[in-house]
Structure 1
Amino acid sequence: MKQKISLITTGGTIASKETKNGMLSSGALSGDELAALCKLPDDIEIRIVDFMKVPSMHMNFHRMLALRDAINKELEDPDVTGVVVTHGTDSLEETAYFLDIVTEDKRPIVVTGSQRSPQEVGTDVYSNLRNSIYAAANPLLENGGVVVVFNERIYSAKYVKKVHASNLQGFESFGYGYLGIIDNDVVSIYQKPLHREFFSVQNEIPRVDIIKCHTGADGLFIDASVAVGAKGIILEGVGRGQVTPQMVSSIQKALDSGTNIVITTSAEEGKVHPAYDYEGSAFDLKERGVILGADYDSKKARIKLAVLLACKNKIKSSDFKY
């Protein structure tokens, strides 16, 4: 009996066509057109779901939730072994992590894309898609959460990020490495996440903003975020989680107004930790009520805080333990 994989397409460079002016029309190809271009595995049954055709920077929480529902619908079929989602690379890491924390099924869910269009010389469309299908069909990835497959490597959704604008090795997971590889259609898994989280999102997902810290930064953007009704703010601090003293008064006002704030670090590796005692340090922020964002990068912290706020009113520091 053949394994059965559902292939859900959402657009992106992997499904793009060249326009008359030589640019790319992202997401122009349908799922059937994309599949017809690729030498997909003939030893696996593939069901194509032509879900949406958008550039990845047109993704938002509304579309991510609709994608979650589409995945869950496919997984209602007990014969489906796993799911592959094709996606544009610019926001791929955000959608992948969102799906990771809002889908409960243990079967493999793989998100992939491409850096080059199907018509370009040396395109990575075909290898990424084929490798993703074999990964989704592999039982070793069960209960491993949502993964990203790119350039023969398998990454955890929580830690993967786009690291190159155009190179075929477009994604990396600093400090944690990849989970495994696909070589000549053979999937090898070397590690898997120990913890999985699931949140059942029933309410509207609120606005959560990301604000970067730099020398001389003040509270302008914090004040603006609160003024437009953001329910949460992710501060991308530096080092162990520091911000400038000029930001502190606005941070305090935001906290007093009920805005949830999480501090992260712009460093590629390491955790936010209260190591210093001065105005704007992680220790100072924690004492004021800011949540320490552990090793989350700012984009993943935004996804998690927004999902948490859609599920409950009170956010605790332990919510960012994993």
Structure 2
Amino acid sequence: MKKVAVITTGGTIASKHNKDGRLSSGEMTGEELNAVLHLPDNIDIHIYSFLQKPSMHITFSDLDAIRDKILSLFLDKALDGVVVTHGTDSLEESAFYFDLTIDDPRPIVVTGSQRSPEQLGSDAYINLRHAIYSACDEHLYNVGTVVVFNERVFSAKYVKKEHASNIQGFNSFGFGYLGIIDNDKLKLYQKPIKSEKHLPVKKRIPTVEIIKCYLGADDKFIRACLGEGVDGIILEGVGRGQVSPLMIDAIEEAVKKGVHVVITTATEEGEVYPSYDYRGSTYDLLRAGIILGKDYDSKKARIKLMALLRSEEEIGEEL
């Protein structure tokens, strides 16, 4: 018999309706979720009711605690894999953090739902069921943390929430999903050829902010970050990584003050690259000492930079 640990953290998948008919996210414990969803009985499932929060209430301290729990569970060599249930709003960020900071070949599967267990057509039951079957499948060994949602398996690095409410809530633009679950069977079609380098967690939690770039954007948000003493800034640029020229003086000032500034792109596919030479181009930013965010989106780049800063690993010209 396979053995899977399920860590519940709240979210819509653990929500209930309040007296006004609105959802109270993260109200159900792991034990209540188990009772409602009738999880597979041919797998030895161990439920750990860890948090009961909406996912936008989860902190980095919470992520560290979940990570520590996963690592302690993996001390059991008989354990085949771990499932983490999570609210969908920040699910992709948490999944990527686990991918970066947990070094174990066994699957870590993150899932959630767009509809509560009480709602008509809920995806809570099937997503959790599929996540459990995926967590004990040997084909997902050495793949890293994955997200299972709507019968699909996604790599944590590129998965994104693509819809606010539809049960097809997640996608991986340009890369596709790794496989599907059909009749409780995982069918894996592809695996990443390169894994993220696993980073140790050592230091305090750094402060890294995201600033979006757009037509006519100026330096007010960068200077606000400098006033708050942030450790890093992620710039969500356009195209190959361009920003408004009105931002450059403040960016140069930030770099001189030791703030780690990363340029990313708002596009769904492609990566930042110094193709152009003008004020506010990626080449101009490189000369100022910024870090290339490659093809990470801004939220994943923030998670990566925070993990790097905490690990005390050297940060080069690229994330």
| TM-score bucket (shorter structure) | over 0.9
1:20 aligns with 2:19: yes
In structure 2, give the amino acid aligned to 1:242. Q
Query: 1:246-271: per-residue Cα shift (whole Å, max 9, x none)?
Result: 00000000001000000000000011
- 2:288 is matched with which residue? 288
So what's the TM-score if we normalise by structure 2? Answer: 0.98
Inter-partner Cα distance in structure 1 for 2:69 and 2:313:
27
* Structure 1 gaps, min length 5: none
Work out the CA distance in 2 between the residues paired with 1:221 and 1:313: 28
Range with bigger deviation, 220-229 or 148-157: 220-229
Q: Distance in 1 between matches of 2:99 and 2:267?
A: 23
TM-fit CA distance, 1:13: 0.2
Distance 2:91 2:98 in 1: 11
What is the DSSP-based 3-state SS (H/G/I as helix, E as strand, rest coil) of the residue aligned with 2:116? Answer: coil
Please state how far the C-alpha of 1:143 moved relative to its aligned partner. Answer: 0.7
2:202–2:312 Cα contact (<8 Å) kept: no
Is 2:109–2:148's contact at 8 Å kept on the other side of the alignment? Answer: yes
Mapped partners of 1:280, 1:225: distance in 2: 19
Tell me, in whole angstroms, the C-alpha distance in 2 between the residues paired with 1:205 and 1:300. Answer: 16
Residue 176 of structure 2: aligned partner = 177
Q: How does 1:134-145 map to 2 (within 5 A)?
A: 134-145=133-144
Cα displacement (A) at 1:314: 4.1
**In structure 1, what is the equivalent of residue 311 of structure 2?**
311
State how many pairs are aligned: 318
Partners of 2:30 and 2:292 lie apart in 1 by 41
Shift of 1:312: 1.6
**Over 6 Å off, 4+ runs:** none
1:121 maps to which residue? 120
Do residues 50 (structure 1) and 49 (structure 2) align?
yes
| CA distance in 2: counterparts of 1:65 and 1:37, whole angstroms | 28
Give the whole-Å Cα distance in 2 for the aligned partners of 1:262 and 1:312: 17
Counterpart residue number, 1:255 = 255
* CA distance in structure 1 between the aligned counterparts of 2:230 and 2:6, rounded to whole angstroms: 35
- Name the SS of the counterpart of 2:80 in structure 1: strand
RMSD: 0.8
1:131-210 correspondence to structure 2 within 5 Å: 131-196=130-195, 197-210=197-210
Which residue pairs with 1:234 in the alignment?
234
Give the secondary-structure state (helix, strand or coil) at the position aligned to 1:235: strand
Normalised to the residue count of structure 1, the TM-score between the two structures is 0.98
Partners of 2:107 and 2:143 within 8 A in 1? yes
% identical aligned pairs = 57
Please give the secondary structure, in 1, of the residue aligned with 2:233. Answer: strand
Q: Give 1:109's aligned residue.
A: 108
Of the structure 1 ranges 224-233 and 306-315, higher mean CA displacement relative to structure 2 is found in 306-315
Q: How many angstroms apart in 2 are the aligned matches of 1:240 and 1:57?
A: 30
Amino acid at match of 1:228: E
CA–CA separation in structure 1 for the residues paired with 2:100 and 2:11: 22
Deviation at 1:40, TM superposition (A): 1.3
Partner of 1:220: 220
> How far is the alpha carbon of 1:150 from its aligned partner?
0.2
Q: Which letter does structure 2 place at the counterpart of 1:311?
A: S
2: distance between equivalents of 1:253 and 1:312?
A: 23
5+ unaligned residues in a row in structure 2: which ranges? Answer: none
The Cα of 1:195 is off from its aligned counterpart by 2.0
Q: Distance in 1 between matches of 2:9 and 2:38?
A: 20
State the shift of 1:313 in Å.
Answer: 6.5
- Assess if the C-alpha contact under 8 Å between 1:260 and 1:315 holds in 2: no
Q: Which amino acid aligns with 1:35?
A: N
Quick one: distance in 2 between partners of 1:225 and 1:163?
A: 29
**Residue 299 of structure 1 pairs with residue 299 of structure 2:** yes
2:2 maps to amino acid = Q
Q: CA deviation at 1:33?
A: 0.5
Q: Distance in 1 between matches of 2:179 and 2:205?
A: 33
Deviation readout 1:189-237 (Å, 9 max, x if unpaired): 1111122220011111200000000111011000111110110000000
Tell me the alpha carbon deviations over residues 44-63 of structure 1, each in whole angstroms, 9 at most, x when there is no partner: 10000011100000012111
Does structure 1 conserve the Cα–Cα contact (< 8 Å) formed by 2:31 and 2:49?
Answer: yes
Q: Which amino acid aligns with 1:66?
A: A
- How far apart are the structure 1 equivalents of 2:226 and 2:192? 35
Q: How much does 1:185 deviate?
A: 0.4
Note the 1:92-103 alignment, pairs <5 A.
Answer: 92-103=91-102
Matches of 1:294 and 1:236 in 2, distance apart? 12
